[in-house]
């Protein structure tokens, strides 16, 4: 009997040790899981903010941004740049998006601000952060700490806008409400704590061999929290996908954007270098008379005129991707069927334009050329020849119009 009593006491002692070890192990694992998941979520949110800033900066023309002065406010080029930022303001869940520039004094001032209520005036100062200074050096960055200014408390991402020579012409800033940012972190933290507590509870319940129904309830709660976390991550992926799609689509015409065009050129140049591409053609388009329409009828009619020209290009070159590479400039890269039928397509297009010219409809100048392996080493040399022919065509159409 005495030995049995000692055995029971000894087993209780071992059970208590095992229970303490279980609790300690779960506590350490919970702390590690919380730290790792919090860091991963912060990186995910920071990257999402940076993706928005990088995409917006890529769509701005650095050469135009660099020349902007207070006198340019309200001009066509200034409004076009504002429209680019405004499309992000209207389509992405963010608080503010704007463009600033670095002054020689080390401060930063507003260039563009599409905020409909209280936009920063051109040349007015803005609170400087370390991430903004890094962007001025050409390095995209995100604030590690929230800052507070007259508009509120925010975390911000900054991305440089480069000119054609690779210099930083401006900086796109994207502000996200700090309460939203911290709320996302704290919400995820709460979920992780709940999941850790559930895991600990389940472990203890299993150790103590409690009722099976209680264990099932804990499992259902665990799955509910897990589904909520997965759903939140899926929503963030879909939002990021809409940002990427916005970067590759021209907001006015719906054709491919300049961003997509640059990537297409890089793909072809790489294919030429690797000798994987042996033939392609380029058609350069320029819409005639856009400035006159903008000056006399307004930019809304000018946009309709651009869309009409773009629709005609898409209708004739229906098997090729159409890129808008400037305000009134479009490009088609001919490959496959359209490359083989290029002469018929260009002839049909030019005939349609001459009909339009006679009836006062949209007129578009064209220039086409093809890759010649004997003289061409890159995409640019083919484009230059096509562009030159486009200007020759433009002069011819002007003579017909006169």
- Supply the pTM of this predicted model: 0.44
Q: Please check whether residue 21 lies inside any domain of the structure.
A: yes
Give the pLDDT score at 85.
92
Residue 149, SS3?
strand
Q: Are residues 217 and 79 in the same domain?
A: yes
Q: Which two tokens stand for residue 36?
A: 């790792």
User: CA 245 → CA 87, 250, 253, 280, 364, distances in Å?
Assistant: 12, 10, 14, 26, 28
Residue among 188, 191, 186, 207 at smallest CA distance from 25: 207
Q: Please check whether residue 200 lies inside any domain of the structure.
A: yes
pLDDT tens digits for 297-316? Answer: 999 999 999 999 999 999 99
Distance between CA atoms of 387 and 381, rounded to whole angstroms?
10
Q: Are residues 233 and 278 in the same domain?
A: no
List, in sequence order, every residue forming a beta bridge with 66; answer none if it has no partner.
none
Q: In sequence order, what DSSP letters do the residues of 85-114 get, joined into one string?
A: HHHHHHHSS-SEEEEEEE-TTS-EEEEE--
Q: Are residues 315 and 356 in the same domain?
A: yes
Q: Please check whether residue 380 lies inside any domain of the structure.
A: yes
Distance between CA atoms of 83 and 257, rounded to whole angstroms?
14
Least confident of 206-215, 323-332, 337-346, 355-364: 206-215
Give the pLDDT score at 215.
44
Per DSSP, 250 falls in state -
Q: Does residue 242 surpass a pLDDT of 50?
A: no
Q: Which domain holds residue 274?
A: 258-401
pLDDT tens digits for 134-192? Answer: 999 999 999 888 877 777 788 889 999 999 898 999 999 998 887 876 776 676 556 65
Residues in the chain, total = 402
Distance between CA atoms of 342 and 174, rounded to whole angstroms?
44
CB-CB neighbours of 64 under 10 Å: 18
For the domain that residue 276 is a member of, what is the CATH number?
A: 3.30.70.270
Share of the chain above pLDDT 90, in %: 46
CB-CB neighbours of 343 under 10 Å: 9
Give the pLDDT score at 32.
66
Q: Are residues 118 and 35 in the same domain?
A: yes
Looking at 228, 248, 268, the residue that finishes a domain is 248
Q: Does residue 228 surpass a pLDDT of 70?
A: no
Q: Please check whether residue 394 lies inside any domain of the structure.
A: yes
For the domain that residue 72 is a member of, what is the CATH number?
A: 3.30.450.20
Q: Please check whether residue 369 lies inside any domain of the structure.
A: yes
Q: Are residues 116 and 191 in the same domain?
A: yes
Distance between CA atoms of 85 and 246, rounded to whole angstroms?
12
Q: Please check whether residue 357 lies inside any domain of the structure.
A: yes
Give the pLDDT score at 402.
47
Q: Are residues 241 and 270 in the same domain?
A: no
Q: Are residues 231 and 273 in the same domain?
A: no
pLDDT class of 4 with cuts at 50, 70, 90: low
Q: Are residues 358 and 228 in the same domain?
A: no
Looking at 219, 248, 277, the residue that finishes a domain is 248
Q: Does residue 340 surpass a pLDDT of 80?
A: yes
Q: Does residue 51 surpass a pLDDT of 60?
A: yes
Least confident of 77-81, 114-118, 224-228, 300-304: 224-228
Residue 171, SS3?
strand
Distance between CA atoms of 300 and 323, rounded to whole angstroms?
21
List, in sequence order, every residue forming a beta bridge with 157; answer none if it has no partner.
142, 174
Distance between CA atoms of 114 and 99, rounded to whole angstroms?
9
Q: Please check whether residue 253 lies inside any domain of the structure.
A: no
What average pLDDT does the structure give for the chain? Answer: 83
Q: Looking at 143-256, which runs of residues are DSSP E strands?
A: 147-149, 152-162, 168-177
Q: Are residues 166 and 270 in the same domain?
A: no
Question: Residue-wise over 129-152: b if at least 16 C-beta within 10 A, else e?
Answer: bebbbbbbeeebbbbeebbeeeee
Q: Are residues 242 and 311 in the same domain?
A: no
Q: Are residues 121 and 174 in the same domain?
A: yes
Q: Does residue 23 surpass a pLDDT of 60?
A: yes
Per DSSP, 308 falls in state H
Looking at 248, 266, 290, the residue that finishes a domain is 248
Q: Are residues 295 and 177 in the same domain?
A: no
Distance between CA atoms of 97 and 53, rounded to whole angstroms?
8
How many folded domains does the chain comprise?
A: 2
């Amino acid at each position: 009997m005495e030995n049995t009593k000692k055995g029971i006491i000894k087993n209780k002692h071992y059970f208590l040790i095992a229970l303490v070890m279980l609790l300690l192990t779960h506590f350490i694992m919970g702390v590690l899981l919380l730290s790792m998941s919090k860091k991963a979520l912060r990186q995910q949110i920071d990257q999402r903010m940076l993706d928005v800033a990088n995409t917006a900066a890529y769509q701005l023309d650095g050469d135009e941004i660099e020349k902007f002065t207070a006198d340019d406010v309200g001009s066509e080029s200034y409004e076009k740049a504002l429209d680019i930022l405004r499309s992000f303001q209207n389509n992405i869940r963010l608080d503010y998006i704007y463009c600033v520039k670095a002054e020689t004094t080390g401060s930063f001032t507003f260039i563009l601000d599409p905020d409909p209520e209280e936009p920063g005036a051109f040349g007015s100062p803005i609170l400087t952060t370390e991430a903004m200074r890094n962007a001025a050096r050409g390095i995209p960055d995100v604030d590690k700490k929230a800052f507070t200014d007259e508009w509120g408390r925010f975390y911000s991402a900054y991305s440089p806008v480069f000119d054609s020579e690779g210099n930083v012409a401006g900086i796109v800033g994207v502000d996200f409400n700090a309460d939203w940012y911290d709320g996302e972190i704290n919400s995820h933290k709460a979920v992780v704590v709940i999941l850790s507590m559930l895991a600990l509870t389940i472990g203890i319940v299993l150790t103590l061999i409690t009722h099976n129904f209680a264990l099932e309830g804990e499992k259902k709660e665990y799955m509910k929290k897990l589904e909520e976390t997965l759903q939140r991550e899926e929503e963030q992926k879909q939002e990021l996908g809409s940002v990427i799609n916005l970067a590759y689509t021209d907001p006015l015409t719906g054709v491919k954007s300049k961003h997509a065009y640059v990537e297409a050129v890089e793909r072809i140049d790489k294919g030429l270098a690797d000798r994987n591409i042996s033939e392609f053609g380029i058609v350069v388009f320029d819409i005639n008379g856009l400035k006159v329409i903008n000056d006399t009828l307004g930019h809304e009619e000018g946009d309709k005129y651009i869309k009409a020209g773009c629709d005609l290009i898409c209708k004739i070159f229906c098997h090729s991707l159409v890129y808008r590479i400037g305000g009134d400039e479009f490009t088609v890269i001919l490959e496959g069927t359209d490359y083989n039928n290029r002469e018929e397509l260009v002839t049909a297009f030019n005939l349609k334009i001459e009909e339009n010219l006679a009836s006062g409809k949209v007129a578009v100048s064209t220039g086409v050329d093809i890759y010649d392996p004997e003289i061409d080493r890159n995409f640019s040399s083919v484009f230059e020849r096509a562009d030159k022919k486009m200007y020759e065509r433009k002069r011819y159409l002007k003579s017909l119009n006169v």
